Structure formats: C-alpha cells, structure tokens
Amino acid sequence: MVLAAALGAGLKLLFLLALALTAQASTYYVTVAGLGGDPEYAAQFERWAGELDHQLKLNGPDAHVTTLSGPAATRQHVGEVMKQLASQVKAEDSFALFLIGHGTFDGSNYKFNVPGPDITAGEFREWLTPIAATRQLVVNMTSCSGASMAVLAAKNRIVVTATKSGNEKNATVFPRYFIDAFHDNAADTDKDGTVSALEAFRYAQTKVNAYFTTEKLIASEHALFSDNGSLTGVRDPGPENKQGLLAGAFPLLRPPGETSVAAANPAKQKLIQHKDELEARIDRLKYEKDSLPEADYKQQLTALLLDLARTQAEIDK
C-alpha cells in the first residue's frame, strides 16, 4: 500500500508538471554527427543529421534546431552550444540531444568520436545538468552507447542508447530507423498524428530486430531505454516496469499544420493544449491501472477518451 501510494503521488506530480507546460513553451533540439572514420560513414552520418534537422524543423517556430556535423562538431563547439542553451532554456521548455556516429568504451569511460579530443559521457552530463528544461531527451545512437546510460540517466530525462553496453562496438543501424520514424506513418501507433519519443524508440527497435533477421546476421546491437531515472535501463518499456511514461508524452513530431493553426487561432491553441493534457492523463491512468478498481479505471478511461474525441473534432473543424 505504501509503495502504491508513493507511485500514485509520483504520477500526480508528473501530471501537474505536464499541466504546467504552456503553449508558449519551446523545444530545443541539438544534433551532433561525429567522425565517420572513412568517407562512407562520414557521408552517412552527415546525411542522417541533415535529414533529422529537416524533420525537426517541421515542428514550426517553437522548435529551435541546432545541427553540428563535420568540422563544426568539435568538443569545444558542442560545449559552447550546450552552455549557451543552458542560459536560454526555461523550465517549461523541452530539450533533446541526438548523437550520431561512432563511440568507444575502454572499460571505464564512454567517448563520442569527434574531430579533435573526443567527448566523454561525463562531459555531456555536465553540460546537460544546468539546462533548466524539466523534460529532457538524450538519444545516443552510436556504437558502445550503452556504456553512457548509467552516466546520463537522471530524473526527468529520457535516455535512449543504440546498444546495451560498451561492448557492442559495431557501427549501428539504429539511427537509420529512428529517423525513419519521423516520416513513416507506422511509427504513430496510437494514430494521434504525433510521433512520441517512446513510439520512435519502439519503431526503431522493431526495425533493427527485423534487419538482423532478414540479413541472417547475429544482432550486434540491442537498444536500451530509461525515463524514470534507472541507471540500467530496459529493453521493453511499459507499465509493468514503470518505464515509458515521460517518453510517451514527449512529442518528436507534431501533426502537420498544428503549430501554425494554433498560432493563428487562440481558440484552437487552447484546444490543442487541452488535447495534450488529455493524452497525458490517459497515459498516466494506464500506469495507475493496477492500483485502481477495474470499474473505476474503465469509467475514467471512457470519460477521457470521449473528451479527447470531442476535443479532436473541435480542432478538426
């Protein structure tokens, strides 16, 4: 009972935090494409970074996108960008960091390969800590990235790594499929027009598994996920392990035109905000299911779904 009460209090706190995020909040995205090592990988990493840059900018004027690749992706430059954002990003904003490239692990430290001195997981943690955003996302898509999980995982931060440890050293295919989630309708599993961080993770994970099966190869990468502060992460987030709640409410790509419609119509803006709040409440209710009488759960879920349907109908008018 004590544990259930504690979990319930934590979920309520997260819900109140979601309500505090106003329509004026912005999302800041930083993508860093590191060294390729050879021309083929260098071109691939730069292409992935460019595609991600394009997709993120589709989120409209409230999306602040910074992409660093090639000679610009040095430790000094990345650090300067992160420190500058620490002075700009507010608590109600969201922040996302995407790492594309090669990583290494020497048994003690993870390093992200960039021109000049490499960047350690510890340095990324130091740069992330002063950023005030109460919703943060880090997607480390490099080889050996699993070794960065224990360093980067924190409260109010979603961390995704392409590998489960620092010993999975092969170049990863995870970035290709994670970025594909932005323009493949199949990634939007709840069909709400928004691709969340959780949906993108699950989509990429499924595609990676299918790739190794189709190519008849032994899987050399196993993605990990943590959004509840766990330093070890899990491979299958869900209510049973209390993982996925924050990521499910972190939109990576919003419905086309939604941002411009909201900006032009204050009434629509309020409706869209209410829709986001309802979706967050539905997600949280699913995580509380085991602690509620079945009849209460169904009654609350039905009411929320009806409200969501009415709200969406008003938005679509």
Claim to verify: residue 94 and residue 242 sit in the same structural domain: yes
Domain membership flag for residue 129: yes
Residues 246 and 284 grouped into a single domain: no
- What residues pair up with 251 in beta bridges, in sequence order? 196
Report if residue 11 sits inside a domain: no
- Residue 283 confidence (pLDDT): 61
What range does the domain containing 293 cover?
258-316
In this structure, the answer to whether residues 133 and 96 fall within a common structural domain is yes
Q: Which two tokens stand for residue 193?
A: 């027009």
| Residue 96 Cα to chain centre, angstroms | 7
Query: 184 and 266 share a domain?
Result: no
The last residue of one of the domains, among 209, 235, 253, is: 253
Nearest CA among 163, 130, 129, 160 for reference residue 144: 163
- Tell me, yes or no, whether 170 and 285 share the same domain: no
- β partners of residue 103: 112
In a domain? residue 16: no
Question: Counting Cβ atoms within 10 Å, is residue 81 exposed (0-12), middle (13-18) or buried (19+)?
Answer: middle
Contact 105, 143 (CB under 8 A): no
Give the model's pLDDT for residue 278.
75
Q: Is 18 within a domain? A: no
Residue 312, sorted as left (phi over 0), alpha (psi -120 to 50) or beta, turns out to be alpha
The CATH number of residue 59's host domain is 3.40.50.1460
The per-residue pLDDT for 101 is 97
Shared domain check, 241 and 110: yes
To 10 degrees, the CA torsion angle through 220, 184, 156, 260?
160
Residue that is last in its domain, among 238, 253, 268: 253
In a domain, 9, yes or no: no
Residue 187 and residue 244 in one domain:
yes
33 forms bridges with which residues in the sheet?
Answer: 69, 100
Neighbours of 159 (CB within 10 A): 27
pLDDT of residue 46: 94
What is the model's pTM? 0.80
Q: Please tell me the number of Cα atoms within 13 Å of 57 on its side-chain side.
A: 10
**Is 211 part of any domain?**
yes
Which pLDDT does position 256 carry in this prediction? 55
Q: Are residues 49 and 127 in the same domain?
A: yes
Q: Identify whether 13 is part of a domain.
A: no
Judge if 145 and 285 occupy the same domain: no
**48 and 97: one domain?**
yes
The count of domains in the chain is 2
298 Cβ contact partners less than 8 Å away, ≥ 6 residues apart? none
212 and 111 co-located in one domain: yes
Are both 292 and 161 inside the same structural domain? no
- Name the domain boundary from 237, 253, 269: 253
Q: What is the pLDDT along the chain (317 residues), one digit of tens a residue?
A: 444 444 444 444 444 444 444 345 899 999 999 999 888 899 999 999 999 999 999 888 889 999 999 999 999 999 999 999 999 999 999 999 999 999 999 999 999 999 999 999 999 999 999 999 999 999 999 999 999 999 999 999 999 999 999 999 999 999 999 999 998 989 999 888 889 999 999 999 999 999 999 999 999 999 999 999 999 999 999 988 999 999 999 999 876 544 444 445 667 667 777 776 776 677 667 666 667 788 877 788 788 878 877 887 777 67
Answer for the pair 48, 175: CB distance below 8 angstroms, yes or no.
yes
Q: Does residue 6 form part of some domain? A: no
- Measured CA angle at 213 (ends 211, 217), to 5 deg: 90
The β-bridge partners of 270 are none
Q: Are 274 and 311 in contact (CB under 8 A)?
A: yes
